[in-house]
């Protein structure tokens, strides 16, 4: 009840600020924030991360202008949970999103907790205008639509994947919205999201309030459906490339072009030097459609490194030195407390729970050790492969304990000696195995205490006679 009251106060205060804007001095001291989240981009599917058959000049340039992360981990190897962590700063199962939120209730494995304070809600308390453009994937209905979870400006796709990048339907349902209204725009989804983001940035000329833009592309998630002219260019340039790989490369290069247009628009605006840009992916690349996760083992859906480790960079002109790299492990959920600290929000004093840590010292080039904590990964899923059960991983220093099937034994790896996760040490390192498995059980118990079914479904579950 106390948390809900605080959230209500936050919404009231944000509305008050909209009517009576902060002074220009106060506003210009707060940086604008742009978070670009792409979908299923593999660790090796950018030129700057080692791709040889792919050209990503715009993202490469973005990465080169700030701090690049070599050990950035998505909070989950699938979509919804990582997005929940990004927007709440918490492990996803602790805010009710242990798995993928889908259209059909019997195959949906999450419900965003009502007492979770989202990043846009927190930023509104200090005067930010907040916008989402692109994929939401944290709720299809009230009260978990983006306009109800802190976003002032909404041009979004509510669902998970699109069955077609041009018709924007999922299971023949139109999930494209502007505000609280369904819309039916024409065009490739990547182009639409790019245009809407550019329009939003240009409109910010008319306001002195700081802004938060969450730009979440569906690409390069399946279906692998690039525009035909982009596919033709790739095939002409790479005559030996397979059909599947060519289509994915074209979809990523088209995405790179869109991100370039957004950055070009931003860089022409007077507030560009006072804008933080974050770029990352929600999980690793999907191998069976041609993704490249570099030398990492496996890909999307997997607790091996290829499913969790993703490209990432943070750019902040005059604040983050360009061309830097860090090997410190960082999780998606660390972005929330970092951005809140930069915006002057004291989450501890407001009693907002977070599991992530602020990496502001790391951004500033100061010494910061981020590996002195256990990192947990959790996914609940259905079907015959998972049966509604959970798979998990925990990393402690260089040690990693994981389970890729709820019906398989836990595996133990030393990432320093065995970065490709080839040699299971579960039998030979029993003390480490027991210590990590104990920590993992505690985390499973924490997540098990949080409801992840919508309230109406909890009441409608059949009795077990």
Determine contact, residues 120/130, Cβ cutoff 8 Å.
yes
Residues 291 and 401 both lie in one domain = no
Tokens of 348: 């501890």
The pLDDT assigned to 460 comes to 72
Name the strands in the sheet holding 390-396, side by side, starting at the edge strand that comes first in the sequence: 374-380, 390-396, 399-403, 411-414
Residue 269 lies in a domain: yes
The whole-number average pLDDT for the span 167-174 is 98
CA distance 91 to 331: 10
Residues 189 and 242 both lie in one domain = yes
The pLDDT assigned to 458 comes to 82
Give the H/E segment covering residue 279: strand 275-281
Residue 26 lies in a domain: no
Residue 339 lies in a domain: yes
Please check the confidence at residue 19 and state whether its pLDDT lies above 50: no
Residue 345 lies in a domain: yes
Residues 418 and 455 both lie in one domain = yes
The pLDDT assigned to 464 comes to 58
Residue 13 lies in a domain: no
The pLDDT tens digits for 414-459 are 999 999 999 999 999 999 999 999 999 999 999 999 999 999 888 7
Which range has the worst mean pLDDT, 22-31, 82-91, 108-117, 277-286? 22-31
Please check the confidence at residue 174 and state whether its pLDDT lies above 70: yes
Residues 454 and 346 both lie in one domain = no
The alpha helices in 133-242, defined as continuous H runs, are 189-203, 228-237
Residues 142 and 38 both lie in one domain = yes
Residue 8 lies in a domain: no
Alpha-carbon dihedral 51, 232, 185, 111, rounded to 10 degrees? -30
Residues 97 and 171 both lie in one domain = yes
pLDDT higher at 89 or 23: 89
Which of residues 318, 337, 363 is at a domain's end?
363
Determine contact, residues 87/35, Cβ cutoff 8 Å.
no
The pLDDT assigned to 399 comes to 98
Which of residues 363, 398, 430 is at a domain's end?
363
Mean pLDDT of the chain: 93
CATH code of the domain covering residue 42: 3.40.720.10
Q: How confident is the model at residue 375 (pLDDT cuts 50, 70, 90)?
A: very high
Residues 354 and 424 both lie in one domain = no
The whole-number average pLDDT for the span 60-81 is 98
Residues 248 and 187 both lie in one domain = yes
The whole-number average pLDDT for the span 89-106 is 97
Tokens of 288: 């069976």
Which range has the worst mean pLDDT, 27-31, 166-170, 215-219, 291-295? 27-31
The pLDDT tens digits for 276-310 are 999 999 999 999 999 999 999 999 999 999 999 99
The pLDDT assigned to 47 comes to 98
Please check the confidence at residue 4 and state whether its pLDDT lies above 50: no
The pLDDT tens digits for 328-371 are 999 999 999 999 999 999 999 889 999 999 999 999 999 999 99
pTM, to two decimals: 0.93
Distances (CA, A) of 242 to 231, 235, 251: 12, 9, 14
Please check the confidence at residue 24 and state whether its pLDDT lies above 60: no
Residues 245 and 309 both lie in one domain = yes
The pLDDT assigned to 13 comes to 42
CATH code of the domain covering residue 445: 3.30.1120.10
Residues 380 and 242 both lie in one domain = no
The whole-number average pLDDT for the span 201-206 is 95
High-pLDDT (> 90) share of the chain, %: 91
| Parent domain of 309 | 31-363
Which of residues 363, 395, 428 is at a domain's end?
363
Residue 454 lies in a domain: yes
The pLDDT assigned to 22 comes to 36
Count of domains forming the chain? 2
CA distance 414 to 422: 10
Residue 199 lies in a domain: yes
Residues 171 and 45 both lie in one domain = yes
Residues 332 and 411 both lie in one domain = no
């Amino acid at each position: 009840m106390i948390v809900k009251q605080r959230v209500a106060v936050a919404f009231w205060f944000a509305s008050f600020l909209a009517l009576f804007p902060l002074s220009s001095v106060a506003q210009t001291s707060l940086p604008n924030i742009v978070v670009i989240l792409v979908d299923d981009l593999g660790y090796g599917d950018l030129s700057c991360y080692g791709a040889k058959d792919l050209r990503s000049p715009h993202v490469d340039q973005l990465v080169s202008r700030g701090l690049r992360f070599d050990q950035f981990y998505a909070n989950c190897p699938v979509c919804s949970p990582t997005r929940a962590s990004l927007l709440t700063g918490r492990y996803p199962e602790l805010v009710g999103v242990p798995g993928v939120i889908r259209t059909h209730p019997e195959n949906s494995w999450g419900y965003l907790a009502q007492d979770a304070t989202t990043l846009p809600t927190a930023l509104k308390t200090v005067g930010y205008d907040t916008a989402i453009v692109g994929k939401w994937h944290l709720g299809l209905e009230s009260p978990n639509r983006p306009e109800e979870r802190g976003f002032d400006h909404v041009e979004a796709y509510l669902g998970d994947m699109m069955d077609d990048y041009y018709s924007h339907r999922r299971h023949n349902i139109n999930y494209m919205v502007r505000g609280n209204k369904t819309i039916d725009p024409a065009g490739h989804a990547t182009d639409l999201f790019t245009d809407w983001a550019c329009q939003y940035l240009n409109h910010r000329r008319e306001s002195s309030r700081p802004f938060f833009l969450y730009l979440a592309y569906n690409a390069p998630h399946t279906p692998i459906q690039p525009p035909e002219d982009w596919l033709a260019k790739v095939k002409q340039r790479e005559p030996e490339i397979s059909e599947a790989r060519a289509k994915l490369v074209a979809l990523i290069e088209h995405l790179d072009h869109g991100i370039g247009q957004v950055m070009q628009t931003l860089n022409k605006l007077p507030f560009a030097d006072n804008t933080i840009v974050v770029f990352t992916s929600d999980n690793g690349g999907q191998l069976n459609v041609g993704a490249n996760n570099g030398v990492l083992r496996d890909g999307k859906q997997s607790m091996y490194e290829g499913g969790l480790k993703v490209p990432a960079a943070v750019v902040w002109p005059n604040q983050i030195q360009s061309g830097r790299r860090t090997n410190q492990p960082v999780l998606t959920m660390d972005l929330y407390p970092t951005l809140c600290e930069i915006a002057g929000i004291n989450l501890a004093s407001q009693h907002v729970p977070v599991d992530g840590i602020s990496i502001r010292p790391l951004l500033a080039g100061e010494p910061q050790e981020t590996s002195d904590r256990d990192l947990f990964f959790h996914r609940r899923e259905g079907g015959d492969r998972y049966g509604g059960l959970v798979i998990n991983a925990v990393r402690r220093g260089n040690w990693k304990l994981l389970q890729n099937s709820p019906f398989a034994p836990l595996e133990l790896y030393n990432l320093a000696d065995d970065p490709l996760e080839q040699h299971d040490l579960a039998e030979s390192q029993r003390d480490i195995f027991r210590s990590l498995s104990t920590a993992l059980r505690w985390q499973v118990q924490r997540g098990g205490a949080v409801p992840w079914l919508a309230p109406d479904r909890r009441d409608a579950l059949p009795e077990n006679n």
